[in-house]
Structure 1
Amino acid sequence: MSIDDVIYVICLLGCIGAGSYVRKIADEGQRKLVSTALGVTVVVIVSGLHSLFCFASLALGTATVLLVHPSKGHLVTFAVMFGYLVIFRLFDFHLGIPGHTNMIQMILTLKVSGIAFEKTAAWKRLQARDEQKKNDQRDVNQESLVEITDYDEDLQTLTAVEILHYSFNYIGVLTGPYYRYRTYRDYFEMPFKSHAPCVEATLEKLKNAGFYCALYLATNYLWPLDYALSDEFFNDRSFVYRLMYVWPTFWTFRARIYTGLTLSECVCTMAGFGAYPDESDPNNGEGPRKRYQHLKRDADKHLYNFTTIVNTRVLEVERCWTFREGMKHWNVCVQYWLAVNVYKLFPSKRYRTGATLLCSAYWHGFRPGHYFCIMGAPFYVALEDMWDKLVRKHETGTRRRVIDVLFWIFKWFAFSYLGEAFLLSSFGKIWRFYSSVYHIGYVSWAAMIALGLYLTSQKKKAERKKNREVEKAAGGDLTAAAVQKEKTQ
């Protein structure tokens, strides 16, 4: 592990340890100050002077959220925060900003622009309520058909201090998970943290993190990514070896990500952050989807979970059969942000999937590998969906299980092949590796798409022919029945 990774892990472990202390601070204002102070400390330790980039982006984003009218505030803040990434990464190319500072800036970008989207959505609900009252001339005390909460009102009176506390809260400041401002507020206003199984959940996640870390260290030692860049790898190794090398290197990458994300979740669970009663139906990143404020009255009588802050469902990613399912379980809190703020709000339904993936690639970075990997995913998903309809969808029993296993193997080859581009990063390295395996991934996928389109067209022709024969037979039966009826008469 590099020295940066060691510092990163130490900071995460320190944040986990601090959670037990922070959770027990009785005064909410003091707990908020302590949480922010810890967050700023972690940022400075990890980033040094480069932390000034994060503070500058927060200042710009905060000014935009507070000064721009809510009707346009979400769009302007989005442009400011994502535009700032250009400046940040240009300095990265020239100064070599630490990778963990990049992660801090990425999460900060989602938080600040996310709070602007929340504020605009709340403002629209308030406007709809006012318009409804005006048109219907409703009594002030009469219940509005537009559901308004105190949270909607409070978002319109946000202060710079509150945005600072939310953005630099030590929980999630390094690698997330992303959570809404509402989740942050609930942590300080609701009693759920005092009744959730914080220690038990943390210990369980720590066991998993230790397992992932051990796998990462072992596979990184046996199959280091740097070897895939060496002359020996290209000159002395066979085509099959080079092609199969994508499997262990991508597993190393997954194990590293699993370790970091699980430790980040431990920071949340130890502090009791993101704990909600099961009855509130919490969702990853979003928080409760049902009314939950009334549950605080008997908070000690509920069962709790930490679904809100679970960023990757590791077992589901590994065990699911298809690429499409795997994507749904990966980085789900960030996917929630993209779905709510980009996919659903994009004006063109035809292009919103592409726009969402492009936004994701841009958010990850400017290196070609990010675009090779993320923008290549929808093409494989389309291929997978096509063959699912052709050979898998209607199968059952042993035949279905065999097909499932084949889909699982192809899923991980696709993830690994595309993920290799993400890891190699630069166009030159990507092209050299893909050329050494004759671009077999793209070539085979193109061939499978062509074959799938041909088989699909043949299947449709056979179905149309069958339908015509059925209609013809039905017409013949009707004619025969009519003749028989005339004879009878």
Structure 2
Amino acid sequence: MNITKDDSIYVFFLSLGILFGYFYRNIKDASLKKTLGTIFGVSIILVTSQLHSLHVFLSFLICCGIIKYSTEKCHLICFGFMMTYLLFFRTISWFGLPNPPGHTNMIQMILTMKIIGLAFEKNSALTKAHKIDKNIDNELVLTVVENEIRDISVLNMFHYCFNYIGLLTGPYYTYKTFFEYFHYPFALNADCWKITSEKLKWVPLYIALFLGCSYIWPLDYAMSDDFYQNRSWLYRLFYIWPSFFIFRMRIYSGIVLAECICTNAGFGAYPKELESKCGHGPSKLISSEFLENPKSCDYDFETIENIHIAGVEKCLTFREAMKHWNRCVQYWLAIYIYKRFPSKKYRIMATMAVSAYWHGVHAGYYFCILGPIIYLPLEDLYTKVFNVDNTSTFRCHATKAMFWLLKFFAFSYLGIAFLLKDVDKIWFYYKSVYHFAYIFWPSFYLICLILWKYQKRDMKKLTKETEVNLKEMQEVSKKIN
């Protein structure tokens, strides 16, 4: 996994976006600021995608029509169209047309989230307005942003979708966040460079680790004859660890650079008192005191923090690590898929299926992203059986180490499918390690299930003994009295 042409293009334009941010955040005229940001964004699309940029603009124009002229169902129609177009976009070679480059694919992916999210935001604003008109809830009041979204112009949709911030690799942000960036004074008062420099200082390390480990453990070697003929089963199984580590370093580099585009432009800066959440923005109302005295506030960029690297690396469970990974995408999936899916029974599977579909058509994405459905029940069980009590005992440290190793083994074993992509390559690799995880996980689940039954039996026995002792103590107390 060496640096490709696409990687070089990403790094160049991400770096350019960071530099442009210093100039961009100091523009005070909102209209000029929007226009320049969009011109820069469109320029990136045209330079990187050339003729393939037609996909991006065509799908945008069709969705504009859907959002403008289909009110009640615009979110569902828009979702159906963009997801269908994403499939066409990725299978275009079947129709005799050239495949778009990787960066065009990323732009189309981000556009898909933005335009669908905007349609859902409009639907929510219209639903709220309908309740107000019908006096269903007298406490409801439309905000300034919701009033604009109700009848959003094509120009503002264009600015939102094609501003350079978040264009290439995200993070995803709502139209509400985009609107507030241009109308509130937070970007001009936050210490943007301090946050940006703190993030940037780690990027050389991630890139160095990526290049060094890629040289020692190239992914291509996992598909060579020598790997399968001359390497032991244990080495082949071990190879998933460096492969996934290399993948993490690549992702960390790209996501942190993308976050730095936001931070250096002041995008996503909010006072800490507003308790902003990733993807959503402030969880508290932005009152006049913040707008009148913006210089006195302490700011954070939680709204656009797409990945919590320390959380991914240090946490003990797969479930917790998922919460720290690609957080803005997970927010989009949670708000627009998970919470709105009609069946509670299948909403987790539906959410993960949409996530896999959004990533691409390769089988590896489905192996990897749907894999947690199998693994998480095991993790939930063994975390109950081997409970961590936060003491400094050897047992506690050993249990934490076991949890950490199991977490990264699951990530790495599922992640190799994401990297290999094609079903024949995935099957060939898994076959070479005798499908170890898919045998180990069910076996470990059965062991944990047996242990849990014994633990529950012992707990019931202990509870009964405690109740008996308590009754005896009460009887003794009565006799004494």
- RMSD after superposition: 2.2
Whether 1:413 and 2:415 are equivalent positions in the alignment is no
User: 1:306-327 CA distances to partner (integer Å, 9 max, x unpaired)?
Assistant: 1111100011111111111100
**Is contact 1:115–1:180 with CA below 8 Å preserved after alignment?**
yes
Residue identity opposite 1:184 in structure 2: F
Letter in 2 for 1:68: S
Aligned: 1:117 with 2:120: yes
Between stretches 300-309 and 22-31, larger displacement belongs to: 22-31
Structure 1 position 471, deviation (Å): 6.5
Change in CA separation of 1:41 and 1:468 when aligned onto 2, cut-off 3 Å: same
Greater Cα offset, 124-133 or 108-117: 124-133
Instruction: State the partner residue of 2:28.
Output: 26
Among 177, 181, 185, the residue aligned to 1:187: 181
Letter in 1 for 2:428: R
Distance 1:469 1:62, change over 3 A: same
Shift of 1:477: 9.4
Deviation by residue 1:403-426 (Cα, 9 ceiling, x = unmatched): 111100111111011000000001
Contact 2:338 2:351 in 1 (8 A): yes
- In 1: Cα distance, 2:50 partner to 2:253 partner: 24
In structure 1, what is the Cα distance between the partners aligned to 2:467 and 2:33? 74
Alignment of 1:229-248 (within 5 A): 229-248=223-242
CA–CA separation in structure 1 for the residues paired with 2:474 and 2:209 = 70
The 3 A distance-change label for structure 1 pair 179 and 243 is same
Q: Say which SS state the counterpart of residue 135 (structure 2) adopts.
A: helix
* TM-fit CA distance, 1:469: 6.0
| Contact 2:388 2:400 (8 Å CA) reproduced | no
Number of corresponding residues: 475
Work out which of the residue numbers 134, 141, 163 in structure 2 matches 1:169: 163
Asked whether the equivalents of residues 276 and 282 of structure 2 are also in contact (C-alpha less than 8 Å), the reply is yes
Partner letter of residue 123 of structure 1? L
Q: 1:317 aligns with which of 312, 320, 332?
A: 312
| Residue equivalent to 1:386 | 381
Looking at structure 2, the residues matched to 148 and 170 of structure 1 have their Cα atoms a distance apart, in angstroms, of: 29
Aligned to 2:106: 103
TM-score, scaled relative to structure 2: 0.94
Contact 1:35–1:170 (CA under 8 A) maintained in structure 2? yes
Match of 1:61 in 2: 63
Instruction: Give the CA deviation at 1:462.
Output: 3.7
Are 1:266 and 2:260 an aligned pair?
yes
Give the deviation of 1:189 after TM superposition.
0.7
Which among 441, 448, 453 is matched to residue 449 of structure 2? 453
1:103 touches 1:174 (CA, 8 Å); kept in 2? yes
1:248-287 superposed Cα distances (whole Å, 9 cap, x missing partner): 1111101000000011011111111111111111111111
CA contact (8 A) 1:8 1:46 kept: no
Q: How far apart are residue 464 of structure 1 and its match?
A: 4.2
Residues 372 and 422 of structure 1 are in contact (CA less than 8 Å); yes or no, is this contact kept in structure 2? Answer: yes
Aligned-partner SS, 1:409:
helix
Superposition map of 1:361-440 within 5 A: 361-394=356-389, 396-398=391-393, 399-440=395-436
Shift of 1:343: 0.9
In structure 1, what is the Cα distance between the partners aligned to 2:378 and 2:231?
31
2:143 corresponding residue in structure 1: 149
Alignment identity in percent?
A: 44
- Is the deviation greater in 417-426 or in 222-231? 222-231
Q: CA offset at residue 92 of structure 1?
A: 5.5
Distance 1:203 1:473 in 2: 62
Distance in 2 of aligned mates of 1:35 and 1:259: 23
Amino acid at match of 1:216: F
Q: Which residue of 2 aligns with 1:160?
A: 154
1:86 alignment counterpart: 87
Q: Partner amino acid for 1:457?
A: K
Please say which of residues 418-427 and 294-303 is displaced more in the overlay.
294-303
One-letter amino acid of the structure 2 residue matched with residue 351 of structure 1? Y
Q: Distance in 2 between matches of 1:195 and 1:150?
A: 22
Give secondary structure in 2 for the equivalent of 1:127.
helix
Output the CA distance in 1 between the equivalents of 2:355 and 2:179: 27
Deviation at 1:147? 3.8
Give the structure 2 partner of residue 140 of structure 1: none
CA distance in structure 1 between the aligned counterparts of 2:62 and 2:287, rounded to whole angstroms: 33
Helix, strand or coil at the partner of 1:132: coil
Structure 1 partner of 2:18: 16
Which one-letter code corresponds to 2:4 in the other structure?
A: S
Q: Deviations over 1:189-241 (max 9, x none)?
A: 11111111112222222211222111111111111111111111111111111
Deviation readout 1:363-389 (Å, 9 max, x if unpaired) = 111111001001111322211110111
Q: How far off its partner does 1:472 sit?
A: 7.2
Report the Cα offset of residue 479 of structure 1. 10
Deviation at 1:455, TM superposition (A): 2.1
Alpha-carbon distance in structure 2 between the residues aligned to 1:423 and 1:369: 7
Gaps of 5+ in 1: 136-143, 485-489
Q: C-alpha displacement at 1:67, in angstroms?
A: 1.2
Q: Which deviates more from structure 2 when the two are superposed, residues 471-480 or residues 261-270?
A: 471-480
Among 47, 50, 62, the residue aligned to 2:49: 47
Structure 2 unmatched runs, 5+? none
For 1:130 and 1:88, how far apart are their aligned partners in 2? 41
| C-alpha contact (below 8 Å) 2:209/2:249 kept by paired residues | yes
Q: Which moved more, 1:363-372 or 1:14-23?
A: 14-23
Q: Give per-residue Cα distances to partners, 1:54-102, cap 9 Å, x unaligned.
A: 1111112211111112x32211111111121111111166633211111
